[in-house]
Amino acid sequence: MHRLFFGLDLPADIKQRLLGVYAPIYGAKWQSLEQLHITLLFLGKVEPDRISALCDAARDLPVEAFELDVSGLGCFGQARSPRNLWAGVQPPDPVAALHWALRSRMAGLGFAPERRSFRPHVTLARFKKQRGSVEGLLDDHGESVFGHFAVSDVVLFESNQGRGGSVYTVIERFPLPDPH
């Protein structure tokens, strides 16, 4: 079984800028440079013989290549006791369009959709039950701009547990049509 998800890869310079906000916060498990991405759709455990069909379904998505900004910080949960610290993406609409296109196609293959609503973001840190506040980080970096980049493809990632957390491997890239 392979643990898979669709996502968007980030350019190295944006990942480096995102690392600049890291600070010691009680209970925070910070993502490494290699772990930074935007999740479009989590599939979970997939049998190897199903990967070819899901790759076929992910080709020729009905969303053209677009530009994206990574900016601002936010959190899921309260700033005094967050579950997750994230960087935002603007505009969210084309990212959401990719999510919905993938979700529809994967549902056609029998993949159950996630129950939670989709909010495009880059996860920077996850928190254990005992959590420190991110209020200072939100005050300092809440409006920061981390970079602008062209989204030209969707990536199918495999996630494996390693010593330092999850290790993501690119299975396949799916080019988006050029808008010109």
Q: pLDDT 10s per residue in the chain (180 long)?
A: 999 999 999 999 999 999 999 988 888 899 999 999 999 999 999 999 999 999 999 999 999 999 999 999 999 999 999 999 999 999 999 999 999 999 999 999 999 878 888 999 999 999 987 778 999 989 988 889 999 999 999 999 999 987 778 899 999 999 999 987
- CA–CA dist 121, 40 (Å, integer): 9
Active site residue 180: no
Q: Could you tell me the pTM of the whole model?
A: 0.93
Active site residue 141: no
> Which residue ranges form the domains of the chain, and what is each CATH number?
2-175 (3.90.1140.10)
**Overall size of the chain counted in residues:** 180
Residue 35's φ and ψ, nearest 5 degrees, are -90, -10
Token pair belonging to 3: 């643990």
Are residues 142 and 79 in contact, defined by beta-carbon separation less than 8 angstroms? no
Q: Exactly one of 2, 37, 99, 180 is catalytic; which is it?
A: 37
Three-point CA angle 111, 117, 122, nearest 5°: 95
Sign of CA dihedral 102, 107, 111, 115: positive
- CA–CA dist 113, 39 (Å, integer): 14
Q: Exactly one of 2, 99, 121, 141 is catalytic; which is it?
A: 121
